Amino acid sequence: MYLKSLLRDIGLEPERVQMYHISSAQAAQFAQAATEMNNQIKALGPSPLRIPRTPINDIEPPEESEDNYHY
């Protein structure tokens, strides 16, 4: 509850965090919770705080120097 209200105050969706009580013997419940959260986060979309990543193909390879190790 505290974390949800803190997220709301910050300006983020409180649904981004959820607490589940699941014992180590409850595999099915764990899978269900993981699926539920996965769907929830997908529906909300990426965090607005997230810095857009440069597509991997656009990253310049680092210049090689004598300090680099090659295996």
Partner 1 sequence: MIVAEQKSLEELKTLIGDARKVLVVGCGTCVTVCFAGGEREAAIVSSSLRMASTLEGRPREIHDVTVQRQCEWEYLDQIAEQIGDADLVLSLACGIGVQAIAEHFPKTWVVPGLNTSFLGLPSEQGIWVERCAACGDCILGLTGGICPIARCSKSLLNGPCGGSEDGHCEIDPEVDCAWQLIYDRLTAMGKTEVLLNIQPIKNWRTSRDGGPRKIVRPDLRLAAEQDIPAAGANLRSIRLLVSGAGAAAIDAGERD
52: helix, coil or strand?
Answer: coil
Burial class of 53 by CB neighbour count within 10 A (0 to 12, 13 to 18, 19+):
exposed
- Candidates 2-10, 19-27, 28-36, 52-60: pick the segment binding partner 1 (CB under 8 A): 2-10
Structure-block tokens of residue 71: 């295996």
44 binds partner 1 (CB under 8 A): no
11 binds partner 1 (CB under 8 A): yes
Instruction: Name the minimum Å distance from CB 9 to partner 1.
Output: 4
Residues at the interface with partner 1 (CB under 8 A): 6, 9-12, 48-49
